[in-house]
Amino acid sequence: MKSHMKLPLIRFTDPRPVRHSRSRSMNTDTLPVTVRLLDDIGTFGSPIQVPKIVNSDDAWRAQLTEEQFRVTRTHDTERAFCGIFHDNHKHGLYTCVCCGLPLFRSDSKFDSGTGWPSFFQPVAQENIGRTTDKSFGMARTEVHCVRCDSHLGHVFEDGPAPTGLRYCINSAALAFHENGAKPARERVLFGAGCFWGVEADFGKVKGVTNTRVGYSGGVTKNPTYEDVCSHTTGHAEVVEVEYEPAQLNFAALLDVFWEIHDPTTGHRQGPDSGSQYRSAIFFTTPEQEATARASAARLEKSGKLSGPITTEILLATPFYAAEEYHQKYHAKHGGGSCRIP
Residue length of the chain? 341
66-86 per-residue burial string, b: 16 or more CB within 10 A, e: under 16:
eebbbbbbeeeebeeeebebb
Say if residues 213 and 239 touch (Cβ distance below 8 Å): yes
DSSP helix/strand/coil, 187: strand
d(CA 236, CA 280): 8
d(CA 38, CA 46): 10
CB count in 10 Å sphere of residue 327: 17
d(CA 149, CA 144): 5
Q: Any residues with CB less than 8 A from the CB of 248 and at least 6 apart, and which?
A: 205, 206, 207, 208
Taking alpha carbons only, the member of 144, 69, 83 closest to residue 115 is: 83
As to burial, measured by CB atoms within 10 angstroms (0-12 exposed, 13-18 middle, 19+ buried), residue 307 is exposed
Active-site residue among 148, 168, 229, 338? 168
d(CA 299, CA 206): 23
Question: What is the 8-class DSSP label of residue 333?
Answer: H
Beta pairing partners, 73: none
Instruction: Let me know if 194 is a catalytic residue.
Output: yes
Instruction: Let me know if 168 is a catalytic residue.
Output: yes
Number of helices (H) and strands (E) in the chain: give both, helices first: 7, 19
Beta pairing partners, 321: 214
Question: What is the 8-class DSSP label of residue 112?
Answer: -
Dmax (CA) for the chain in angstroms is 68
Say if residues 52 and 22 touch (Cβ distance below 8 Å): no
Active-site residue among 96, 194, 229, 338? 194
- Residues taking part in catalysis: 168, 194
